[in-house]
Structure 1
Amino acid sequence: MKNIVYKIVPRSLWQPARQGGVFGGAPIDLQDGFIHLSTAAQARETARLHFAGQKDLVLVAVDGEALGTALRFEPSRGGDLFPHLYAQLPMEAVAWERPLPLGEDGQHVFPEEFA
């Protein structure tokens, strides 16, 4: 698993997906037609820009290699290449998931095993 990508998602959306075996996407994913993911280098900024102040989030690490050709790296914020998944996210591709709590400074606290 060299190609780990990350999804930040509210627990309220993740839990039913976990039980159902696939994650179909958050509302923004459904609107855009793909599941937004981030690389390790992008995830903190994604949390800051798109999830500021939100509690009860989950950081999901995904084996990008397990997603095959449905995973594409495309230009997005600032021209940076972001991973986009043009399929549902199967739970078999999830390497791990951890809570993404807010710290005292209001920023999300990433887990120790985060790259």
Structure 2
Amino acid sequence: MFRPYVVNGFDCGDLARLVLKEVFSRDVAIPSARGGGPFSDSALVERCCEEIGMRTDSPTDGDAVVMIARGRLAHVGVYYEQNGVPWVLHNSRESMQVVRHRVRDLAGSGFKLDGFYKWK
């Protein structure tokens, strides 16, 4: 699924919401970050974790992957497994497009795993 990252238009939350709806037939109320800047993005992600997700150590396809980017809790992706390998699909501001990373390779790609969340 190729979609460019668009500041104030199509961010990581927008991609997660789209994937959940189109692939998993789930309508999750993930808010979009619209122009508030990195600190408000961090607050938004933290609030979403508490309001619409429950932390889990056993993620399954479609669960949220919450990441630390640029030193702040500010990024979300969608978890899936392919051939037994855990992946995250996310819309990266740094790459300006949708990317996928093996969960184990996130740190080498500039992201730190905060945790996995099941949608409420």
TM superposition score normalised by structure 1 = 0.29
Of structures 1 and 2, the one with the larger relative CO (CA 8 A, separation 6+) is 1
Greater strand share, structure number: 2
TM superposition score normalised by structure 2 = 0.28
Greater helix share, structure number: 1
